Chains A and B, each alone.
Chain A
Amino acid sequence: MDLIAIVTIFVLAVFVGFEVVSKVSSTLHTPLMSGANAIHGVILVGAIIVADHSETNLELGLSVAAIVLATINMVGGFVVTDRMLEMFKGKSGGRANQNSGDKK
């Protein structure tokens, strides 16, 4: 892919990333960090690609290690985030009502 297309994607993604989390209550900082953490586990895709290309045992060994680590990051990350958010179950409605009540 040519460089300018990549730079375009990069810059736009930076702005989207800034924009989506700019207003978040401190209650959600930990789950949000954990969720974002799980998303970068998508490096798993990259690890699979290099494992596919591996020709020597060294390359394969390193790629397999990368796949294991990336899987732990991705799967573990989403599971642990879900466990955190499970705790908010049933209380989210109350929170929303309370907040809107405070403003009015």
Chain B
Amino acid sequence: MNRTIYDLIGLSAGVMFILALKGLSHPRTARRGNILGAIGATVATVAVFFYASEGNELPLNNLGWILGAIAFGVLVGVPAARRVQMTAMPQLVALFNGVGGGAAALVAIVEYLKLGDSASTGVVIATVFTVLVGCVSFSGSIITFLKLQELMTTRPVVFPGGRFIIAATLLGTVASAVWVVLELGTTPLLILAALSLLFGVLFVLPVGGADVPIVISLLNAFTGLTVAAGGYVLDATLLIIAGTLVGASGTILTRLMAEAMGRSLFGTLFGAFTAKPQEAGAASETRPVKSGTPDDVAILLNYARRVVIVPGFGLAVAQAQHTVRELADLLTAKGVDVAYGIHPVAGRMPGHMNVLLAEANVPYEQLSEMDEVNPTFPQTDVALIIGANDVVNPAAKTTPGCPIYGMPILDVAQAGNVIFLKRSMRPGFAGIENELLFDPKTTLLFGDAKASLSKVVGALKAL
């Protein structure tokens, strides 16, 4: 295959990626878009096996190793993607993004080892950029994975002098990058890689749990840019197109996500430089709350005219989406008007909750977005909050300076009665107290969301 044909195939793959992103932006075409992207990626991958670059013969050198490595990657990636629980999807995406960044960094390192004196400064800079940002994306994504998997604390990790350590690491990383560009050598490169990995960790540690999705999206955009830079190094136009597309769309997506969550992008990213170690308000937890029994909850629901269910991550963790649908069906059969109020970031990522409820066959008409459901809360008799906390926390409106201040919330406080199904009094993902729990019209039912819901369903049937 000659260069022209190879480049034309690359161009068509690039066009497929553009159409894929376009398709993914609309619900009706989303699935088709994703499949188109997969076809584009497959075409591009197959084509490279049939392209003999100058001075090279087909088949490719090390063909056995290449095919074996691809087979191994498929054997790891596909089952992971197939078997993952819907609830664990965000961290899997983070992990996939991390390994992509790692792959780009490795490609650049190999290319660097082979760069002779003939390499232009531009190529060297692009190589160094790929190593640096690829490593940051890799280690940063691993930390986001650990946070979402709750293998480490979801609260911001801030330590004394942290901002100086981060600033020093950043300076060291940039300095070593310059060093690598000026003086080609393996040792400076390894130091650069190590510092970049460290910076990725320090960059993500101070980010609070609620902001993690924004950081994943940003690291996704970073990986896109490293792929583009790698494409420049390898003289592969398709990689430049694909990487830049992901970098640009990822940046916009990051901004859209931050807006949906009412967060400032700047505050999220540079929180590390401004955050101070703070004590969580533990003193307030001694105040009394009204806790009820499943029967109390069933009675409240039974005599309501309108119930709005607010599902949160606790519902997802307990795999209670099927039980909640059973409850909703039962109430509908009794003539109660039931709707689900879905916060844009319910779950761990925008759109996550819609995916979970769709899995349980909840009728689409019952799913209301925040803007639709908020004006109806004053006419709502019962707001049933299942495993959610931060998205209904009035502190977002009333307490300037708290971590979620400014985030749009569901106004459940306007409803006649508020019921929280919670595991414990533990604060939500953002780590702040919810005043609504202490409100006189609030009833709490403690326990695992699925177990509690089953008991409520049982009590409702007995009425």
Contact = CB atoms under 8 A, between A and B. Distances in A.
Interface of A: 1, 3, 6, 9-10, 13-18, 20-56, 58-60, 62-89, 91-96, 98
Given A28-B26, A38-B41, 5 more contacts: A14-B248, A39-B245, A43-B103, A44-B41, A46-B239
Q: Nearest 10 pairs between A and B by C-beta?
A: A71-B73, A17-B248, A76-B77, A29-B350, A73-B100, A13-B244, A66-B106, A79-B81, A67-B69, A87-B358
A88 B24 CA distance: 12
Interface in B24-80: 24-28, 30-31, 33-35, 37-38, 40-41, 44-45, 48-49, 53, 56, 60-62, 65-66, 68-70, 72-74, 76-78, 80
A43 B246 CA distance: 12
Contact of B245 (A17, A59, A75): A17
Contact of A29 (B122, B238, B260): B260
Given A72-B99, A80-B81, A31 B34 contact: yes
B384 interface: no
Nearest to A53: B114
Given A59-B114, A77-B96, A30 B349 contact: yes
A33 B253 contact: yes
Contact of A39 (B20, B30, B70, B358): B20
Nearest to B229: A10
A10 B74 CA distance: 30
Given A52-B60, A80-B92, A35 B20 contact: yes
A72 B75 CA distance: 8
A60 B65 contact: yes
A21 B249 contact: yes
B279 to A, nearest CB: 33
B103 A81 contact: no
B27 A92 contact: yes
B202 to A, nearest CB: 23
Given A3-B122, A26-B344, A64-B65, A21 B21 contact: yes
B336 interface: no
Contacts of B330: none
Nearest to B225: A40
Contacts of A50: 107, 110-111, 234
Interface in B98-125: 99-100, 102-104, 106-107, 109-111, 113-114, 122
B253 A44 contact: no
B93 A37 contact: yes
Given A13-B240, A75-B77, A58 B41 contact: no
B11 to A, nearest CB: 10
Contacts of B65: 51, 60, 64
A74 B325 CA distance: 35
A101 B224 CA distance: 37
B77 A71 contact: yes
B100 A70 contact: yes
Contact of B364 (A53, A58, A62, A95): A95
B232 interface: yes
Contacts of B228: 10, 13
B209 interface: no
Contacts of B276: none
Nearest to A34: B93
A25 to B, nearest CB: 7
B110 A48 contact: no
12 contacts: A13-B240, A27-B354, A31-B355, A36-B245, A40-B223, A40-B224, A43-B230, A69-B103, A69-B106, A73-B96, A79-B82, A83-B82
Contact of B237 (A1, A48, A92): A1
Contacts of A18: 248-249, 251-252
B17 A43 contact: no
Contacts of B345: 26
A67 B70 contact: yes
A41 to B, nearest CB: 6
Given A18-B252, A29-B349, A66-B110, A36 B73 contact: no
Given A20-B249, A63-B110, A43 B100 contact: yes
A33 B31 contact: no
Nearest to B257: A29
B242 interface: yes
